[in-house]
Amino acid sequence: MIKPHGSDTLNPLFVYDAEKHHALIKEAEGLPSITVSSAAAANAVMMGAGYFNPLTGYMNVADALGCAENLQTAAGLFFPVPILNLVQNIITISGAARIALRDPNVEGNPVLAIQDVEAIEEITEEQMQTMTSKVFGTMDSGHPGVAAFNSQGRFAISGAIQVLNLSYFQNDFPDTFRTAVEIRNEIKEHGWEKVVAFQTRNPMHRAHEELCKMALEALDADGVVIHMLLGKLKQGDIPAPVRDASIRKMAELYFPPNTVMITGYGFDMLYAGPLEAVLHALFRQNMGATHLIVGRDHAGVGYYYGAFDAQTIFDEQVPEGALEIEIFKADDTAYSKKLNKVVMMRDAPDHSKEDFVLLSGTKVREMLGQGIAPPPEFSRPEVAKILSDYYQSLDS
């Protein structure tokens, strides 16, 4: 199986030993504590689950700036984005060597992790601007990732963490949420060697379905892991339970048996386009995938990134050998009326625009909201029914 990033074995930061876990929970009761941001909580979950291997905790400012500017920490570890615990106020933890981090997304703010405080640094406006512009490619506060990043605070708490729970993800999505450890184990149980990962924060339409099948065939892969984001999205995105139901229905009816794993992970979407695509590749390698599908505007939002910037970054900015996972580069896909199937548009040079069934996401949402099923060339009817029921429930 493919090695995790940065180490020979996966080192999740969740404390699995029951006796040690109990002792840490008890210790946390007496520690100074702070409720962290949703983004910092998601970072803790990703480290706890093994997705951010080989990190041992939150970065200091030097490492965060190094990742933003050069895609590596001060010690030279390849990592595409800063992983920070940013807070607005440090009064409750001033002078503490060890603190409890509380979850902002669960009622009662239970302890999420214990952190050894390496340093508390105040980030300058210039440093914040550098990280923002490098990671997101813009300073526009209308970009949801920029807005979220800049709202967290200016004090960076660095240091190793021990993760004690995985937030709301295990309880809210028991059939879907999986740690990188669990996915690696499932891949082994399936006997898969060549594994394709497909990232999604949206329901899967025909084009997405066929893209996974194209990758399976082109790579002669054993299976595909459909890996959906379960954390915070932007306003207007479809809730995770609806996406989950529609994807499961599609896989059940339209994929060969034993070729698909449907899983999810707990992270707040960055909408950082190219750099988030690199992050996606890194943590898919950690979960055992050998290939990641990267298509048009992967992890993008609005018009901040070029259509295929998330592909070219792997050739232009990711050092050779930095990651072992390989990228399956996908073009725009659409249903060909000439060929009666979904194709990558680059593979159909003899087609005109009229030869394809092309529908914008906005148009499809309008149709679903009105109870009108999109054409079967665009969406499987069983999937469209689940989505239509959701959109119509918004108006009732």
Q: For residue range 47-96, list pLDDT tens digits in order.
A: 999 999 999 999 999 999 999 999 999 999 999 999 999 999 999 999 99
Contact 220, 189 (CB under 8 A): no
**Residue 239, pLDDT above cutoff 70:** yes
The CATH code of the domain at 174-265+271-395 is 3.40.50.620
Catalytic residue among 98, 154, 201, 296: 201
Question: What value, to the nearest 5°, has the Cα angle with vertex 319 and ends 6 and 294?
Answer: 85
The two domains 18-167 and 174-265+271-395 share their CATH topology (first three levels equal):
no
Contact 7, 53 (CB under 8 A): yes
Tokens representing 2 are: 């493919």
What is the pTM for the complete model shown? 0.94
Catalytic status, residue 206 = no
Catalytic status, residue 201 = yes
Contact 177, 230 (CB under 8 A): yes
At residue 228, the pLDDT reads 93
At residue 89, the pLDDT reads 95
**CA–CA dist 226, 152 (Å, integer):** 30
Least confident of 158-162, 183-187, 295-299: 295-299
Q: For residue range 277-305, list pLDDT tens digits in order.
A: 999 999 999 999 999 999 988 999 999 99
Q: Hey, where are the domains in the chain?
A: 18-167, 174-265+271-395
Per CATH, is 18-167 categorized as 1.10.150.80?
Answer: no
Contact 383, 203 (CB under 8 A): yes
Residue 174's identity, in one-letter code, is: P
At residue 238, the pLDDT reads 82
**Residue 336, pLDDT above cutoff 90:** no
Catalytic residue among 202, 248, 296, 365: 202
Q: Per-residue confidence at 190, pLDDT binned at 50, 70, 90?
A: very high
